[in-house]
Amino acid sequence: MLTEIGITLLGPLYGAYAGVNHRRVQAGMADAKALSIPVCSIGNISFGGTAKTPMAQYVAIMLGRRGRRPGIVLRGWKGRIDREGGPPAVVSDGKHILLEWLECGDEAALLAESLLPYGVPVAVGRDRLEACRLLLNVANVDAIVLDDGFQHTKLARDLDLVLIDCLSPFGRYDGRPGPLREPVSALSRAGAIILTRADAVDEHRVASITEVLGRRLREVPPIFMARTRVHDVTDDRTGVEQFPFILEGRRVLGFSGIGNPLGFRSTLDDIGCGIAGLVVFPDHHPFRRRDLENVNRRAHAVGAEAIVTTSKDAVRLDGCRDMLTLPLHIVEIRVTIDDESRFERFVIDRLGIT
């Protein structure tokens, strides 16, 4: 975590980067290409996790309930296709998983697996426009959910949903300005703002966030509140999905390599775990056997009864699980929207869906 001195010294650099990137996006969007089907983007202006992947899942399922055939497109960050700049590829056709996470990235693999029961296909590619066209041809989708698309300039969107994590709203966990992809003023491009993890903070924190938005934006887009909840906890050895309270009162060690580890701590608090410690890795960290060996050693040192990680991290544990001698539990979260019917009507209207 950056120190106060580091934030102060690097503040002008952060601001310059955000401003340059903002101008790049504004200029690039002038040439964005539109598809023949509606596109809804899920994005943010911060670095790190704001629950974009669970929100993309939520919107895709919602569109499916309305009788649409949605598909999800994302870059596939740090997968082989992304690293090597390969052509877009289908991760799932809605019926079968076609790529491993090493090929498509952890987020794409997680979305493909979780949305398989809903028949939602997933594609990845640096060129999101071509990835969308690929899904149109292969899966005959009639709506696109673009995961992490707010700064993407090639593809026009009918609706930009921009997420602000209440735990670290403007780049910092304490709510003060920090490193951002774009300045707060860029939120004027948003079709709506969603405050995620609203359940993890008090009403004063939410009020302070909305007050900042009111000061920095000439016109504030509609604001919705989103909450995270634990969908289930899976015993990694048996694959059995259990109710969240299975971990209540148990002393656990958590480990994660996600954009916002504060969110994971908040989740563990919500389900009543006795948190003996947290081991934090970089976002998208490709776990090695020595990493899990260190996690296991730490768990025993603090007297943990079990080890807990996120569903996104579990995707990257291939070949490492046997390093853990304590039970491993995998927590899957979902998002819910306050006033869900109003949010659904808003999205449907903006996408022009009947």
For the record, the structure tokens of 254 come out as 């958590």
Query: Given this chain, do its domains 4-227+336-351 and 229-334 carry the same CATH topology?
Result: yes
pTM for this one? 0.90
pLDDT value at 33 more than 60? yes
Res 1 pLDDT > 60: no
The rounded mean pLDDT for the chain is 91
pLDDT reported for residue 142: 97
State pLDDT tens for residues 233-258. Answer: 999 989 888 888 889 999 999 999 99
Mean pLDDT of the 183-191 span? 94
Lowest-pLDDT range, 118-132, 170-184, 223-237, 304-318?
Answer: 170-184
Instruction: Using alpha carbons only, give the angle 150, 152, 153 rounded to the nearest 5 degrees.
Output: 120
pLDDT band at 260 (very low <50, low <70, confident <90, very high): confident
Please tell me the predicted confidence (pLDDT) of residue 4. 38
Q: Return the pLDDT at 319.
A: 86
Nearest to 264 by CA among 254, 272, 273: 254
How far apart, in whole angstroms, are the C-alpha atoms of residue 153 and residue 236?
Answer: 40
pLDDT > 70? residue 167: yes
Mean pLDDT of 99-110: 97
How far apart (Å, rounded) are the C-alpha atoms in residues 200 and 210? 16
Residue 174 predicted with pLDDT over 80: no
Pick the CATH number of 229-334 from 1.25.40, 3.40.50, 3.30.70, 2.40.128: 3.40.50
Report the pLDDT value the prediction gives residue 301, as an integer from 0 to 100.
Answer: 98
Number of other CB atoms surrounding residue 350 within 10 Å:
18
Strand 241-242 with 274-280, pairing: unpaired
Most confident range (mean pLDDT) of 6-10, 67-71, 244-248 is 67-71
Q: Mean of the pLDDT values across residues 177-200?
A: 90
Each residue's pLDDT tens digit, 78-100: 999 999 999 999 999 999 999 99
Comparing 51-60, 94-103, 114-123, 163-172, the range with the smallest average pLDDT is: 163-172
pLDDT, tens digit (0-9, with 9 covering 90-100), for 307-323: 999 999 999 998 899 99
DSSP 222: P
Alpha helices in the chain (DSSP H): 4-28, 52-65, 80-84, 101-104, 106-114, 128-139, 203-216, 261-270, 289-301, 311-314, 340-351
Q: 185 pLDDT exceeds 80?
A: yes
Task: Compute CA 282 distance to the chain's CA centroid, rounded to the nearest angstrom.
Answer: 15
CATH of segment(s) 4-227+336-351? 3.40.50.300
Q: What's the token pair of residue 326?
A: 């304590």
Please state, for a pLDDT cut of 70, what percent of the chain lies above it: 91
Share of the chain above pLDDT 90, in %: 78
Domain boundaries, given as residue ranges, for the chain: 4-227+336-351, 229-334
